[in-house]
Amino acid sequence: MKVIETIDLNIYYKEVHALKNVTMSMNKNSITALMGPSGCGKSTYLRTLNRMNDLIEGCKITGQVLIEGEDAYAKGVRVDELRKKVGMVFQKPNPFPMSIFENVAYGLRVNGIRDKKFINNQVEKALYQSALFDEVKDSLKKSAMDLSGGQQQRLCIARALVIEPSVVLMDEPTSALDPISSAKIEELMFSLKKNYTIVIVTHNIQQAARISDNTAFFYIGELIEYGSTKEIFTNPKHERTQNYITGRFG
């Protein structure tokens, strides 16, 4: 089942044509890796899916973005409702300067949930899902700022999961982390696949190969190639893709 679909998607930052006619779709409970050299448009694409690009002045978009079949950019769509369906994890771990518990509970509170018992349950579940619960269960009241970088990033994942989105976008989630923390996050993504559809932007080609079901290769705003990860890495159709994954340019 297609959870995400973009049709003839074009994005302009003022005069710059950042994304050109991108048509692609992602299936439910899959991990899709977006890779390509810096400035290729992969992050731009990701940020279109939860409309974070709205925050950038002079950003214009044409074409369609369908999330669970609904046009994300249609008139009358409430951005905050869309973002409840499409969660996001950022490149740099960015927990709020609050307690661990409050960080995770935040998504529930801003969406008007007051039921304490429900909040407790959801927070615990999200921390459990993000493989952080055992490490923090005795220090939920402590500041999230005291956690290590890797723990902070898993907390950010828990924070995104607590409102039960159907899609989780990850923008280079391990690029600021050490290898061990990165490995933990990758492991985590595997387990999250059961319940969520994951789209991850990565600079790390091996990471894309390791974790994703499908891989998209972007180059200067164009979607060069998109297919199953196995196919892309063993038998790329385009020379550029081949050059990129073999490290001839990047």
Partner 1 sequence: MITLNNSGKKKRLKQNIIFWVFRLLSFSVVAALFVILAFIFIKGIGVISWDFITEAPTEGMTNGGIYPAIIGTLCLVAGSMIFAFPVGVLAGIYNNEYATYKPLKNFIRIMTNNLAGIPSIVFGLFGMALFVNQLHFGDSIIAGSLTLGLLVLPVVIRTTEESLAAVDNTFRHASLALGATKWQTTRRVVFPIAFPNVLTGMILSIGRVSGETAPILFTVAAYFLPKLPSGIFDQVMALPYHLYVLATSGTDIETARPIAYGTALVLIAIVLIINILANVLRNYFGKKFKVK
Question: Which residues form the interface with partner 1 (CB under 8 A)?
Answer: 50, 52, 55, 57, 80-81, 83-84, 87-88, 90, 92, 94-98, 106-107, 109-111, 143, 145, 156, 159-160, 163
DSSP letter for each residue of 92-155: S----SSBHHHHHHHHHHHTT---HHHHHHHHHHHHHHTT-HHHHTT-TTSBGGGS-HHHHHHH
Q: Are 222 and 23 in contact (CB under 8 A)?
A: no
Q: Please say which residue, 197 or 229, places its beta carbon nearer to partner 1.
A: 197
As measured in angstroms, the least distance from the Cβ of 114 to partner 1 is 14
Nearest approach in angstroms of CB 190 to partner 1 is: 23
CB of 91 to partner 1, least distance (A): 9
Q: How far apart are CA 238 and CA 232, in angstroms?
A: 9
Q: How far apart are CA 47 and CA 199, in angstroms?
A: 11
Identify which of residues 156 and 223 has a Cβ nearer to partner 1 in the complex. 156
Name the minimum Å distance from CB 45 to partner 1.
16
